[in-house]
Structure 1
């Protein structure tokens, strides 16, 4: 018992160390981008634009890089819009009510309300409030603050985009592979767990898989952000233009069907639980079909990561449909028939994720299902 606990502790430490190394590796790239963007923004504002105190430009550059990959162009726009709202409200109110503690509170309150009225995102609202504070507190001592603040926003945001797109770009394929791995591995693991639950007729094991799949929002969101980042990279970065019609386009097209496959798998698992609890027949080919779907997901990830056409993932997806059809012919109950249907639907989603048109995927699934 003690030896098993020691082994588990060593394994946990090894996993934690690998996670930390990975975080440091990814963080180091972001830190280098942020440092280079801050320096570039400061130099442009100080030397090219003759700004004697270029504080806002490097701040905006770092703030742009803090946005999720794929949302940095939007972050620049939001920063500029927020600054515009803050300047407008701050200048107008200070003209009429002057400066002071209560005037500062009024300016910030109205800047936030104005940003909300115009449908601003949290970034716009925050930037409007921050700019209103600067206008209300610094305008009496620092004249003509408004124009440099605008210029610094453009310089800082532009510097961040130049660094991430041209000077120090991330490899978009590596970013999207890193994001896709948790989502696809999690989907494969829960399908495999459901297959074992069907073999063992263990509803508790299937329920655990169902609960885990319900907590997939972080993995799916990470994949979606990575896809948006790939689109942004292929649009802005010359390094990525040659990849635009390659693997990145496959990933971009795969994000939505992968999300659908996760939702359909959730239905598959729920009906598997009911199937076991109601003591419905579980023909031997049915757990095999679910296990084949799990392996198809793993192959899809590996073939995407290797830049290969996911032909083997398609073959396994269709084999899963064939096995589900065999189970249907041997006889299943109501919930079992739903599981069979979800195997077909999930397989179709995986075929679409592999790059096939929806109509072709549906036709292949129909062809693989025994008459």
Structure 2
């Protein structure tokens, strides 16, 4: 009170504690700070993931320029660095294909441009005609966007620069060849990708998503609460980006282990097993989506939920986590197989205790998903189905079981 009176007397504004300690302002500031931290982490993660590509691109551009300038003595080696960077900008696993596409596109552009220029001369309508024909021929031959772009761009260069730059055709072709070849040399020998690291980086989000949603579904079944299972179902539907990244990573791992002598020995080891797992993991995610959707129906319809059923889904989630860890370590995923079969055993126990219509579907999807995971670990489909049937046990529920 004394302080307040003093402020009133001297005309200054009193200091109020809640001006700086308002709960709403503090909460908003905390949210902004959390978002900033998350955004910073995402950007740093992006830099770590792409930083190696930036170094590869810089080295490939410099080397291709040196080869064309100093070895082949082409006076303006502009297109070689561009071709090198364009090759490296392709998705991991598509770089060899991108090099071939570059060469095809440049060849088409050079041939069409050079032939037509000799017949029609130069001008605006000749330029339009050359570009149209180059793109049409490129589409007919390959149909790839990269081929079309290269053919059209090369046709433009030939039509516009040939009158003033002599012998442009051969240097343009050589530049594309050298740039693509140097890019492959950099990625295969000088700065090769680690295929196992590529796979781990791509598979982790997909497998984390799957295990997290299975855990949420197990909790929903245990508490007879459909809300977490509904949320899990919605989350799992948004898995296209994760699966696309995994498929691209398997292509990149195969390419790296094929082109790079450093990683040749891994083609039939951890990288080979991991690369073959993309398709069965995709199937496991789709079958888990059916499992989760039927879990929602099971709870909402008030069907019986035997105690082993939530345990089966929990065991399935743990099998996915083990698969991720053992793949990342390059180990034979034996523990993941054992854990997956525990899920099948629990599902068999739930079935024999008695389940309803949707409950039977959940049990069946546990079996099917486990079969997918076993194939992902390297088993054949036939062997996976056989061990799943053995682990499940008797198919016929005992007399008097609930239905």
TM-score range for the pair, normalised by the shorter chain length = over 0.9
What's the offset of the Cα at 1:194? Answer: 1.6
Distance in 2 of aligned mates of 1:78 and 1:298: 39
Residue 15 (str. 1) matches residue 14 (str. 2): no
Match in the other structure for 2:73: 50
Residue 332 (str. 1) matches residue 355 (str. 2): yes
Match in the other structure for 1:357: 380
Residue 208 (str. 1) matches residue 231 (str. 2): yes
Residue 30 (str. 1) matches residue 53 (str. 2): yes
Larger Cα Rg: Structure 1 or Structure 2?
A: 2
Match in the other structure for 1:199: 222
Residue 106 (str. 1) matches residue 106 (str. 2): no
Residues 290/10 of structure 1: CA separation in 2 closer, same or farther (3 Å cut): farther
Distance in 2 of aligned mates of 1:284 and 1:7: 41
Distance in 1 of aligned mates of 2:131 and 2:227: 53
Equivalent residues, number:
371
Residue 264 (str. 1) matches residue 287 (str. 2): yes
Residue correspondence of structure 1 range 133-282 to structure 2 within 5 A: 133-282=156-305
Q: Deviations over 1:113-151 (max 9, x none)?
A: 222222421111111111111111111111221111111
Among 271, 280, 299, the residue aligned to 2:322 = 299
Distance in 2 of aligned mates of 1:230 and 1:276: 42
Q: Which runs of 5+ in 1 are unaligned?
A: none
Deviates more, 1:228-237 or 1:90-99: 90-99
Distance in 1 of aligned mates of 2:33 and 2:307: 38
Distance in 1 of aligned mates of 2:166 and 2:251: 41
**TM-score of the aligned structures, taking structure 2 as reference length:** 0.88
Secondary structure of the residue that 2:107 maps to in structure 1?
helix
Distance in 1 of aligned mates of 2:206 and 2:136: 38
Among 113, 126, 136, the residue aligned to 2:149 = 126
Secondary structure of the residue that 1:69 maps to in structure 2?
coil
Could you say what the CA RMSD is over the residues aligned between the two structures, in angstroms? Answer: 1.7
What's the offset of the Cα at 1:8? Answer: 5.4
Deviates more, 1:62-71 or 1:83-92: 83-92
Match in the other structure for 1:81: 104
Residues 350/6 of structure 1: CA separation in 2 closer, same or farther (3 Å cut): farther
Distance in 2 of aligned mates of 1:17 and 1:178: 19
Distance in 1 of aligned mates of 2:372 and 2:242: 18
Match in the other structure for 1:312: 335
Residue 367 (str. 1) matches residue 390 (str. 2): yes
Deviates more, 1:104-113 or 1:42-51: 104-113
What's the offset of the Cα at 1:337? Answer: 0.8
Distance in 1 of aligned mates of 2:342 and 2:35: 37
Distance in 1 of aligned mates of 2:27 and 2:329: 36
Distance in 1 of aligned mates of 2:96 and 2:146: 13
Distance in 1 of aligned mates of 2:366 and 2:28: 39
What's the offset of the Cα at 1:10? Answer: 4.7
What's the offset of the Cα at 1:198? Answer: 2.0
Q: Deviations over 1:150-178 (max 9, x none)?
A: 11111000000111111111222111111
Secondary structure of the residue that 2:266 maps to in structure 1?
coil
Match in the other structure for 2:18: none
Among 355, 367, 371, the residue aligned to 1:348 = 371
Distance in 1 of aligned mates of 2:30 and 2:349: 43
Secondary structure of the residue that 2:134 maps to in structure 1?
helix
Match in the other structure for 2:397: none
Residue 322 (str. 1) matches residue 322 (str. 2): no
Distance in 2 of aligned mates of 1:208 and 1:113: 48
What's the offset of the Cα at 1:208? Answer: 2.2
| C-alpha contact 2:199 2:275 (8 A) present in aligned 1 | no
**TM-score of the aligned structures, taking structure 1 as reference length:** 0.95
Q: Deviations over 1:197-249 (max 9, x none)?
A: 22233334322222222221111111111111111111111111232232101
Q: Which runs of 5+ in 2 are unaligned?
A: 1-22, 395-403
